[in-house]
A and B are shown apart, each in its own frame.
Chain A
């Protein structure tokens, strides 16, 4: 195992712990995105560019974006300006 891969694995463990320990949902989304980014770089270092592509687009960008939208939408629904019985 090269130093690069060891460093990336450590970084992955670090960012993963960060995701678990972050309590604020909005920050947690960003932590998740950082975790996905490190994972993509690790896949790249392990010579799996196919998976790295998928991880960086889906794991580091698309999923965090959907979470951010959901958080915004939930916040809006709780506002007093939106009394919606349905």
Chain B
């Protein structure tokens, strides 16, 4: 398709869709308007029914907990697929050398990068754990905390280099975190069923409002999600970073 034909097609598509787009845009609620009865209902009900002050967590882990189970296993499947595709020829060995791109110099790590990474890796990890732990009271939760923790593990790579990073962040450990977290979430539901309640019914004591340990079963589910997400993201980072190493066959050269 020539560029001119593409432009003509684009103009035609614009002509066809523009009236509809303008019509919808003019009929949208005003910016910041609040026609959301469901949100208001949750805001009113969740503190009373579930004793938590972070409504997003209340929705994610309780009111639509089964949806989150689906998301959890979606992530698990996506990461497993990626790992199955990428695990193999490259970078498995700790001493695998960095891959070489012709014509690009390989400068040593600068002291500034090492210093910043060493300072911020533990702090970022701590922040990730904090965000995950306070899922029931403040914004954030298992997913956000897990991703922050995984990026903290990546800061070790920036600070210590590939070998030092691989020495600390072990692939089997991440596998267990990922699968174990997802399993923990699923088991929470079966625990409810064992007590004769529907799947994922919140049967644990709910605790006091605005307390870190409020929310009952949501706390366990949140821990599962935090482990699974931290494991998944760290595992994806690891498998991708392995691809920047030389292949096994080349190492003899």
CB within 8 Å of B: which residues of A?
1, 49-50, 53-54, 57-58, 61-62, 65-66, 69-70, 72-73, 75-76, 79-82, 84
Interface string of B139-156 (1 = CB under 8 A from A): 111011001101100100
**A49, A57, A72, A81: the one within 8 Å of B147 (CB):** A57
B164 at interface, CB cutoff 8 A:
no
Contact A50 B139 (CB under 8 A): yes
Q: List 29 A-B contacts (CB under 8 A).
A: A1-B31, A1-B32, A49-B140, A50-B139, A50-B141, A53-B140, A54-B143, A54-B147, A57-B144, A57-B147, A57-B148, A62-B233, A62-B236, A62-B237, A65-B154, A66-B237, A66-B240, A69-B244, A70-B243, A72-B99, A72-B101, A72-B243, A73-B243, A76-B99, A76-B101, A76-B244, A79-B102, A80-B102, A84-B247
B56 at interface, CB cutoff 8 A:
yes
Q: Are A81 and B240 CB-contacts (below 8 A) given A49-B139, A50-B139?
A: no
**B56, B100, B139: the one within 8 Å of A79 (CB):** B100
CB within 8 Å of A: which residues of B?
31-32, 56, 99-102, 104, 131, 139-141, 143-144, 147-148, 150-151, 154, 233, 236-237, 240-241, 243-244, 247, 249-250, 253
Q: A82 CA to B147 CA in the complex, in Å?
A: 34
A interface secondary structure, majority? helix
Q: Give the chain A neighbours of B247 by CB distance below 8 A.
A: 82, 84
Contact A53 B144 (CB under 8 A): yes
